[in-house]
Structure 1
Amino acid sequence: MIAYSSPNKMLTAQTKRISISDIDLAIRRLWSNFHQDVSGGHTVMRACMSNLIIYCDNKDQAEYVGNEISAIVDIHPARVLLLIGNGQLKKGSIESLVSIYYTELNEGWQVCAERIDVIAKAEAVDRLPSVARAHLVGDLPTTLWWASRQPAPEAGELFFQLAELANQIIYDNMGWANPAKAVASMTRWVAAQQDSQVVHNLAWRRIASWRKLISQVLDPQTAPGALDSLSLIEIEHGPHALAMTWLLVGWLASRLQWKAIDGKKLSDSELVWRFQSKQKEIKVHVKRLPEGEPLLYQVLFDWSQADQPGRICFERLDHDRIGIVESLSTVPSRVFSSTIPIRSTLISAQLAQRNRDKLFEDALKASQAMSAVFQK
């Protein structure tokens, strides 16, 4: 007898792992048992809007991602293939687990995901793309979520083969060990895709509230002359958030048509860029805080003139608010609503998107130019 969790929502076929050849049979058995146990004259509906392939480097990553799947498929039902490299197996080199996610509706039951975990030892990782291909639901769009901490192009054939299966690729630059090198390699690959695939960085959604806030407060109608006179930007971020900060600066450079002319590392926690605008040179000073979450904590803009000071400093106050720091600003203090989104929300929102984001791609190109001058 199968034990069902209360709605929301996971049903596991069995606790032991199965061979790859038994995946389809295990799913059919799971469906059959579910029908027998819960139908009772009610409808059991299958909801599936797309395929979601997720790649993780190891078991720890997979456990973390696995806890997010329920929230993702609750919003965007999908067949989920969770691929795990460097797995620990007692025998053989590649095995699988299957499960389904379900929820109770007024008129019956809805199965919103079929989940297939594929665990491979290091020597069998190259088999993961073929296993994924064989178990995709036909005629549905496919998204690859590259959940690895390794920048995608640096993974070589494994990533390229998985990417060929997808209409959309989602990646996250949080925690990259070498942001300058990683941004450069990822940007080159994205540029090479042209119109073939939608590529999305979760950092772009993470900085959405900052982009909106900066656009509103520094708008020429709100702060006349601020952008034309801007000379200094200072940014403080938490650990593992440099690549996200890099993208925010790239967005500013692309929108304001700045040219990156220099960049260097001042210490293990600080770096600086210089940009040239039509009017003047802009310095961007970025500092990593010794502790905290991977977030932007403070962003200061200075457009002071010899005869007139002009500054605004934004600071994250908590998980729900960003405020203007009165002591560091020449504009009135204000507080803005800005909730930090959780990753599952970012993923489910992006799964519904099928169009290329020109603003993101322009920001990525500017980030690439920043990498180029930084590496000289």
Structure 2
Amino acid sequence: MASAVVARTWRSTPAESIEAGLAELWREIGRQAPVARAVMSNLVIFRNRSSAGGRRLDSLAEGLPIEEVVARHPSRMILIAHEHRRVECEPVAAGIGIVTFGPPQARYGVEQIAVQASCADASLPSIVRRIVRGDVPTSVWWAEDLSQVPPVPALVSMGRQLLYDSSAWKDVRTAVLSLAPIVRNRRSDCADVNWRRLAPVRQALVHAAESMQADDLRHADVRIAHRPGETALAWLLGGWLAARLHWSDAAAPAIEEVPHADDVLTLTCGTDSGKLTLTLTEQHVAVSRRGHPSFTVAVPRESAGDAVAAELRSLARDIGLHDTLGALIRRFSAGSL
């Protein structure tokens, strides 16, 4: 379990004085008690300035599990609140802070930087480049709905990883297609917090498929029903099946929302004589098939901060997610819904 927050120190600063201001903050908290500077990576968090509203610099991260994340994966947090304009410009405001964790004898701190910028997208890399540490890797956390605020390629390409949460998508097709350039150039890895929720589902389906013929699955009538708010999760499952079974668009599963449903999603496939039903709830995955024993797979309990920190720690490309996105990109590019 991560350490509890002990103290927060925050102040506004001119953008050109960020590093000098952080150095002074470290000196101030070091006079109070010994503290270690902890940093494993740069974590660049993108927020649209309009969605951040009129918040003060020190509250731009409200609604995000920032401190939970950096307690588990210490990072220099760089929050960019961006308002798109056609002209190149400098940051309009900046703030810096240090959050300390742990007991007095083992105290450590992480740096937080917030920048407000009203500028062209092309200006963002130069702003970020001045404040990232060059000796550690960089991840970009897109804390917006990709269907409403598409990723800025020049900013995403600065990181080894693009982190996002597809559960926030209002339009799955638009969001998936916005990721197409990133998936195709393979320069940055995609990491979807929502995708993690399908891990027990994929595990259960792989186990169930051991008693089924591949051709039976490829040609089965597959349907995915989901509760309101889980459209992206249902499409991710459909995309994963399409990638694994090499389905054509014509063979893709039927996906529908069920009003007032309690279960997260339900997948059915096969004929009446050998019909398979999989149900995902908040607690478990239940699988039943006629003529075969039923079984369940537990759903791990994971907070939002745990999930984000786990993705930041992962150094390997998630091939399953990239294949799934590739299948969905092909489907949506062809105009199929």
TM-score range, shorter chain: 0.7 to 0.9
Aligned partner of 1:45 in structure 2 is: 36
Q: Does residue 300 of structure 2 align to residue 339 of structure 1?
A: yes
Q: Aligned partners of 2:52, 2:227: CA distance in 1, in Å?
A: 26
Q: TM-score, normalised by structure 2?
A: 0.83
Q: 5+ residue gaps in structure 1? A: 1-5, 262-273, 276-283
Q: Deviations over 1:65-85 (max 9, x none)?
A: 2xx111111221110101112
Aligned partner of 1:266 in structure 2 is: none
Q: Does residue 285 of structure 2 align to residue 322 of structure 1?
A: yes
Q: Does residue 297 of structure 2 align to residue 299 of structure 1?
A: no
Deviation at 1:105, TM superposition (A): 4.4
Q: Does residue 246 of structure 2 align to residue 253 of structure 1?
A: no
8 Å CA contact retained: 1:311, 1:330: no
Aligned partner of 1:271 in structure 2 is: none
Aligned partner of 1:95 in structure 2 is: 93
Q: Does residue 311 of structure 2 align to residue 312 of structure 1?
A: no
Aligned partner of 2:87 in structure 1 is: none
Task: Provide closer, same or farther for how the CA distance between residues 297 and 24 of structure 1 changes in structure 2, counting only shifts above 3 A.
Answer: same
Aligned partner of 1:114 in structure 2 is: 111
Q: Aligned partners of 2:304, 2:227: CA distance in 1, in Å?
A: 17
Aligned partner of 1:131 in structure 2 is: 127
Q: Aligned partners of 2:183, 2:149: CA distance in 1, in Å?
A: 10
Q: Does residue 221 of structure 2 align to residue 232 of structure 1?
A: yes
Task: Provide closer, same or farther for how the CA distance between residues 341 and 373 of structure 1 changes in structure 2, counting only shifts above 3 A.
Answer: farther
Letter in 2 for 1:312: L
Letter in 2 for 1:81: I
Partner of 1:32, secondary structure, is helix
Q: Does residue 173 of structure 2 align to residue 180 of structure 1?
A: yes
Q: Aligned partners of 1:212, 1:93: CA distance in 2, in Å?
A: 46
Q: Aligned partners of 1:355, 1:240: CA distance in 2, in Å?
A: 29
Deviation at 1:96, TM superposition (A): 1.8
Aligned partner of 1:363 in structure 2 is: 324
Letter in 1 for 2:327: A
8 Å CA contact retained: 2:61, 2:79: yes
Q: Aligned partners of 1:93, 1:251: CA distance in 2, in Å?
A: 41
Task: Provide closer, same or farther for how the CA distance between residues 289 and 340 of structure 1 changes in structure 2, counting only shifts above 3 A.
Answer: farther
Letter in 1 for 2:305: S
Deviation at 1:331, TM superposition (A): 4.1
8 Å CA contact retained: 2:47, 2:142: yes
Q: 5+ residue gaps in structure 2? A: 54-59, 85-89
**Mapping for residues 67-86 of structure 1, pairs under 5 Å:** 68-86=65-83
8 Å CA contact retained: 2:147, 2:171: no
Task: Provide closer, same or farther for how the CA distance between residues 373 and 160 of structure 1 changes in structure 2, counting only shifts above 3 A.
Answer: closer
Aligned partner of 1:62 in structure 2 is: 61
Q: TM-score, normalised by structure 1?
A: 0.75
Q: Aligned partners of 2:249, 2:149: CA distance in 1, in Å?
A: 24
Identity across the alignment (%): 25
Q: Aligned partners of 2:291, 2:180: CA distance in 1, in Å?
A: 37
Q: Does residue 31 of structure 2 align to residue 36 of structure 1?
A: yes
Q: 2:200 aligns with which of 190, 203, 209?
A: 209
Task: Provide closer, same or farther for how the CA distance between residues 56 and 129 of structure 1 changes in structure 2, counting only shifts above 3 A.
Answer: same
8 Å CA contact retained: 2:222, 2:270: yes
Larger Rg: 1
Alignment length (residue pairs)? 321
- Which of 284-293 and 134-143 deviates more? 284-293
Letter in 2 for 1:187: A
Partner of 1:13, secondary structure, is strand
8 Å CA contact retained: 1:176, 1:240: no
